[in-house]
Structure 1
Amino acid sequence: MGQSNSEKSEVSYFVVIGITTVASIIAVVFILHGFPERSADFYQGTPHSISESEIDEKELTVQLVRFEEKKEENETVTKEVKITPPSEPENKLSENQRVFDYYMNRLDETALQQEAIAESWASGNDHQVREGVYAELQVWDSLLNEIYGVLKNILSEEEFLVLRDSQRSWIEERDLAAAAAASEFAGGSWEDIMYYSESLNYTRERCYWFVMTYL
């Protein structure tokens, strides 16, 4: 036979009371012992969790930043070194000075030697004077050609071409001046002497000009 309404109400009342009691007991257990630990899968994807791969990526990023900073420092040092203008080597300056001193001494010594030699023939006859002047001209002309060869080796191609054209013009000027000096003694014994003497003066001066200008 079915239960009466009063009996059903009484059963429902005890069921509710039982469920409430069980829930209260569970709540007390959680409070006293703490909530159970959740697995790593539960936290995966939350903003507070960091995976090993993310840690590696962060460490790699830090290393790359440090590498770029180091690279920039090295590039800065390299640029500073390249900006520094190189100075002319001291050995080159010393070599140029040595060549200059050598030929200046050669010119002065030659001038003194030829002056001493000239004393022996200056008071001689016309033939002796002629031969003496011509011999001195040969000495200076040989020295001029030597210096000209040195300049050909040390000057740039452009500079030497300028010197070569200048030398050709100088030869024409020397010959004209010598001819003009000799013309005053045309037909006489001193015609050749004056020609050689004027050529000697030009050649000696040209030697000094070479050294003072280019060495």
Structure 2
Amino acid sequence: MSERRVLGGNQHALPASIFADDMSYVALGHLHLAQKVAKKEHVRYSGSPIPLSMSERNYPHQILAVEFDGSNIKAIEEIIIPRCVDMLKVPTKPASLDEVLATLKALPDDELPREQQPFLEVHVLLDKPQALLREKVLQALEGKSVRLAKITPHYSQREQQDSLQHRRLSEVSPQQVFALSWNKKFDGEPTEAIAEAFETLLTQVEEQE
């Protein structure tokens, strides 16, 4: 039921040349992340004013203020929108379940209205699938002013390689493919900055498709 399942690749893509030179400004929508089209200052996606996924946690969302002098653009100002609800990643790097649960229990007990509670993404390092993982995380968060948005399990490279070896590419996530490729080339896990950059690129590709 999603348009991403209907549109195939760039079959529906249109060239930037469809926007005539005498157009003063073209404001496009739908894509989450702000960007210029074909490096044209006057053809832009302003992007979503709020985060629409946890991968956009560190992205500076914005709106654009366009000032005209007659039919000519006088100025384009990027206005960064303050984040009214925080987005947390705990821990900053995947850790064992015991460490994660201890970290969650150590979160402050601030009593905030639900609409002000931060969204939380939990990353857990596992040797194998863990029964009742969500229940254990929720139990550790009892009394905490956070909203659990996502639990992301991570497995050892050996475990991932063994489990993915006989699976089709369509059955694995882009993140798993990226992590395995990175490990094979650099013998280790990608840094948080690299992982977040990959998530941003993945979001852009998915939206453009």
Using structure 1 for the length normalisation, give the TM-score. Answer: 0.22
Name the one with the larger helix percent. Answer: 1
TM-score normalised by the chain length of structure 2: 0.23
Structure with greater strand share of residues: 2
The structure whose RCO (Cα within 8 Å, separation 6+) is larger is 1
